[in-house]
Amino acid sequence: MMLRKTAAAYCELSEAAFEREIASGTLPMPVIFGGKPHWHRDQIDQHLANLSGAGDWRASSNLYAA
């Protein structure tokens, strides 16, 4: 669980930009934990993965083939 400042930094966003993404529905709403809003890293990761569509495009790219 991450506080706003940590969650915003995790996304490489300012706290204001992080709040805008929450308001737009791009990022998840917080849960109250210990009396303060917190974000779960896995939920953030899931929302960010949804932005990129179905999977990692590099997996099918010849450029990134192993």
**Is pLDDT above 60 for 65?**
no
Angle at 3 between CA 28 and CA 16, to 5 degrees: 65
Q: What is the pLDDT of residue 34?
A: 94
Using the predicted structure, report yes or no on whether residue 27 has a pLDDT greater than 70. yes
**Quick one: pLDDT at residue 4?**
97
Residue 7 above 90 pLDDT? yes
Per-residue pLDDT, 20:
96
Q: Give mean pLDDT, residues 23-34.
A: 95
pTM of the model: 0.75
C-alpha–C-alpha distance, residues 62 and 23, integer Å: 38
Q: Sorting pLDDT into bands at 50, 70 and 90, what band is 61? A: low
